[in-house]
Structure 1
């Protein structure tokens, strides 16, 4: 049952991607050469959200995981916020700030999870890698589209 609570939180975050689609505004922006193809975004995010739910569930089974679970809650809130700010409000700088804070929260979460349970930390690691790509992409788009 606990896994499904985390999965519902992830689905709620994913819903922002359905509500605030990239659309014509995003298509018109100059993007770096390393921009992933459009089909990769839903594949990557679906995988990440499933891993996040699994990691959240695993964390509930570990004694001393309260701080990491608080970071999990903070990251899902920041994750949910980024899409409407970037795609909905077209605020690239504000989105970059959100993404930078999100990256720090997730990096700390990964390190702390690794200390509690290596498998859970490794489950979270792809998310941190994807956030590196997302941050580089957000920053490059911001610089190229002043």
Structure 2
């Protein structure tokens, strides 16, 4: 493994994770109607930490490989959607818009997983839990949207 590449990808993941500390769930989220299967609050930072380290490691395995352009483009797209979702949902309280960001995240994670599998089976396998978690997160976002259809968004200033 190239430690420099791993560090770069881990820093990109850390930047994405920073939005989670900038836009905390807070009282607004606690007040929303959520399904009974909603994961406990403590699970989110634990799971995301594991997924970010796995994602960075997988990317560092694939980046130096011949023919990795599409795989790395998908990786860049998934980290961009990942970074965007938290401010849209928790910052702006735009549940519906966040769902569409989540669709982009799901598709880009799936694309990353498939293209990583084509180049390195370990890297592809490291994205399976990520896709599973994003599937749960997308279902949760959809359920919260359905249960709170009239929840007002934060007004633009």
Q: TM-score range by the shorter chain?
A: over 0.9
Deviations along 1:111-135, one digit per CA (max 9) or x if unpaired, are 1111111111001111100000000
Distance 2:40 2:112 in 1: 28
Matching residue within 53, 65, 68 for 2:68: 65
Count residues in correspondence. Answer: 146
- Highest Rg: 1 or 2? 2
Once the two structures are superposed, the pairs formed by residues 117-128 of structure 1 within 5 Å of their partners are: 117-128=120-131
- Between 4-13 and 112-121, report the one with greater CA deviation: 112-121
Structure 1: stretches of 5+ with no match in the other structure: none
Partner of 2:39: 36
Higher helix share: 1
| Displacement after TM superposition at 1:108 (Å) | 1.5
Runs (4 or more) in structure 1 with deviation over 3 Å come to none
CA RMSD of aligned residues (A): 0.7
Matching residue within 123, 126, 140 for 2:143: 140
Q: TM-score if structure 1 supplies the norm length?
A: 0.98
